[in-house]
Amino acid sequence: MLRFFKKHNYEGLLICVEGIDGSGKTTQIELLNSWLSQKGIDVILTQWNSSELISKTTKKAKKKNLLSGRTFSLLHAVDFADRLERTIKPALKAGFVVLADRYVYTAFARDVARNVDPKWVRNMYGFAIQPDLTFYFDVSPKDSLDRICANRQPSFYEAGMDMKLSNNPYKSYVLFQNRIVEEYKEMVDEFNLIQINALESIHSKQKFIRKKVAELLTKHNIKIELEAGEDE
């Protein structure tokens, strides 16, 4: 656990976004990625559960609805470890800004919501690198569900149907995601997550994020200029 709670000494910076589905975090980190690239910053974006080594296996297991809480946790830990060694660490060593769409906090929230022991989960990810900045997009499960259902239906595991909280997938979604939100809110102070109201406009959220990121870059002697009004 010591490594995760210590600042890393890599030349690059690790910036993460967290939040339940429908919180708008992916939109925001993609906008940040484009903005940093336009500013001439070496940047790379990595997403949760995207390792070529394990993601296909995880998807197949999910389709069969056979994953237990601990198995679910183990598969995602393997995925994360692979991306950490193959993508995140090499980029940080090369001085890149690494943007992570979900990080270990996703496991800390989701796995505990599935009744996996919190100490066990944290110990499993003890090898992780501590982020330099993490934004948590706070949205209610009801608002999250409304946003998701505008485009698709919640999946079996997304709705927490494996937890047997309700036979109704929509009700189950709200109940399960509420558990996850409760875990996230416990982590805000524990891990110094920067909480953002997910219901604010895309523009205002991005403006706030850019300001915080620019402040971080300045502290690390990376000069970046904000557009008019972005530094307010």
Secondary structure tally for the chain: helices H, strands E: 9, 5
pLDDT value at position 226?
74
pLDDT per position as a tens digit, 66-106: 566 677 788 888 889 999 999 999 999 999 999 999 999 99
B/e letters for 96-126, b = 16+ CB within 10 Å, e = fewer, are bbbbbbbbbbbbbbbbbbbebeeeebbebbe
pTM of the model: 0.90
Domain extents in the chain: 13-217
Q: Is the pLDDT of residue 2 over 80?
A: no
The pLDDT score that the predictor gives to residue 5 is 80
Q: Which CATH architecture has domain 13-217?
A: 3-Layer(aba) Sandwich (3.40)
Does the structure show a pLDDT above 90 at 19? yes
Instruction: Using the predicted structure, report yes or no on whether residue 18 has a pLDDT greater than 70.
Output: yes
- DSSP symbols for 63-89: HTT---HHHHHHHHHHHHHHHIIIIIH
pLDDT at residue 142, as a whole number: 97
For 155-186, write each residue's pLDDT tens digit.
888 999 989 999 999 999 999 999 999 999 99
In angstroms, the CA 77 to CA 74 distance is 5
pLDDT at 73: 82
